Structure 1
Amino acid sequence: MAEALLAARAQGRPLVLPADLDLATAWKVSALSEQRLRADGRTPRGWKIGFTNRGIWPRYGVHQPIWGRVWDDTLTLLEGTVGEVSLAGLVEPRLEPEIVFGFQRDPQPGMDEGELAACIDWVAHGIEIVHTHVGWRFDGPAAPVADFGLHGRLIVGPRVPLQAFTRPAAKLAALGVVLTRDGVERDRGQGANVLDGPLSALRTWLTAMADQTPGVRVRAGECVTTGTLTDAWPVAVGETWTTRLDDDHLSGLTVQFTG
């Protein structure tokens, strides 16, 4: 199964997974795929958390968070607020505006939000491009876990020290975003949509990670993107998408999509 998924990733094509795939097997598939990507020279740079937005759970058929690796060839750290992103090799890509953390110390499961904040070096607004080799309707979390956590690209805007925020948990939970495509508003979202806030989502995920994938940890120097503040929106070559945030500490982004 891992070989089939890696081939689909390399060729940018869909495939069908076994209907009886269970979550324990999906994590084994994910681990094997990671081993192969590392052996092929890819370097993990962090993590994505998916399905932290409860509002989209019924639409996609997944009712709990999942996660997957972010790689050196899927991560872009912008110096400004405008980026050009190729959709080549992605299958049914969608856009998700998110909040991203970068770590200066290893976070641990069981930490409260204040302790987690002390582990964080920077916070940024990011846009994740998710995609699926197996279709956008799932019967539980197993298929998206096996399918690389649905991760395609992560574009991270200007990084800001977390200390710039007073009461960062509350501020990030209250943060609002407006999402536009080619100048037309498509959606609005809020930080609280991701399991009551990005730091809350991080705390919940670390506990789930320790339970489902024991021995796997987040390390200093890695980044974590905490889930979409809006619905996930289909994107196409030639479109320009823009986010506008209502907090002066973080910059909105403009992403132009190429083939």
Structure 2
Amino acid sequence: MVYARGAVPAISLKGMVAPRIEPEVVLGLGASIPGSDQAGGLRQLIERIQWVALGFEIVDCHYPNWEFTAADVVADFGAHAGLVIGKEMKLAGKDFDGMEERLRSFQVILKKGRETVAVGKGENALGGPPAALRYLAQLLERQKWAEPLRAGEVVTTGTLTPLPYIHAGERWSVEPVGIDLDTLELEFI
């Protein structure tokens, strides 16, 4: 995990087979989220989020053409190869009532260099980042052996756009529209 606080990180793709990039919303939890608390709705979940940031998950796949079964992707470490987290927006003192809608409806513009590659929305990730967080909390509750989400944990909520392939020498950015998050940039080496 790399925190990009004001710098443009250089991420090595060495050893990766078919890397791709996923712009995501990343949540930093300020309080535990037991699954049984879900009756309070998404606002109650949002009140337990300490910060929100844009992030890039770098994913990779060892299976030709990214064709795999669920068991294959588990064996391939969930396709996760790296995570870059942008500047955090602290939620303390923010308008929690409007935050659910902003996180659901804001847009992102994914660019390679100056070229727009894709445009996405918060709702593309399981209906929005708070809904994705609720889904995860409920899933963990159904799995009796699993621990609930705890304060201090970082949760990625799913890609906001299709996943383009990436290559060394490229510079990528994700620009938010309609929410007070900073643009995140990185380059691949």
Instruction: Give the structure-1-normalised TM-score.
Output: 0.66
The reply to whether residue 185 of structure 1 matches residue 116 of structure 2 is yes
Contact residue 113 and residue 171 of structure 2 kept, 8 A = yes
Percent of residue pairs identical:
36
- Give the secondary structure class of the aligned counterpart of 1:124: strand
Structure 2 equivalent of residue 156 of structure 1: 85
Q: 2:11 aligns with which of 57, 76, 85?
A: 85
Match of 1:214 among 145, 166, 180: 145
Deviations 1:213-233 (A, max 9, x none): 732332211101101000111
Q: Which residue number corresponds to residue 2 of structure 2?
A: 76
Query: 5+ unaligned residues in a row in structure 2: which ranges?
Result: none
Bigger relative contact order, structure 1 or 2 (CA pairs below 8 A, ≥6 apart): 2
* Runs of 4+ deviating beyond 4 Å: none
The one-letter code sitting in structure 1 at the alignment partner of 2:123 is A
In structure 1, the residue matched to 2:99 is 168
CA-to-partner distance for each residue in 1:75-127, whole Å, 9 max, x for gaps? 01121152211112322110000000001111122423122112211000111
2:127 counterpart (189, 193, 196): 196
Report if aligned partners of 1:162, 1:168 keep a CA contact under 8 Å in 2.
no
Change in Cα spacing, 1:99 to 1:213, as seen in structure 2 (3 Å) is farther
Q: Give yes or no for contact 2:176–2:182 (8 Å, CA) kept in 1.
A: yes
Letter in 2 for 1:158: K
**Which one of the candidate residues 157, 172, 176 is aligned to 1:241?**
172
User: Does 2:41 correspond to 1:115?
Assistant: no
**TM-score, normalised on structure 2?**
0.89
Residues 177-233 of structure 1 show CA distances to partners (whole Å, capped at 9, x for unaligned) of 111112111111000111110100110122123334732332211101101000111
Unaligned runs of 5+ in 1: 1-74
Query: Which residue of 2 is the match for residue 64 of structure 1?
Result: none
The letter of the residue matching 1:157 is G
**Shift in Å, 1:243:** 1.3
**Counterpart for residue 205 of structure 1:** 136
Cα distance change on mapping 1:145 and 1:212 into 2, 3 Å:
farther
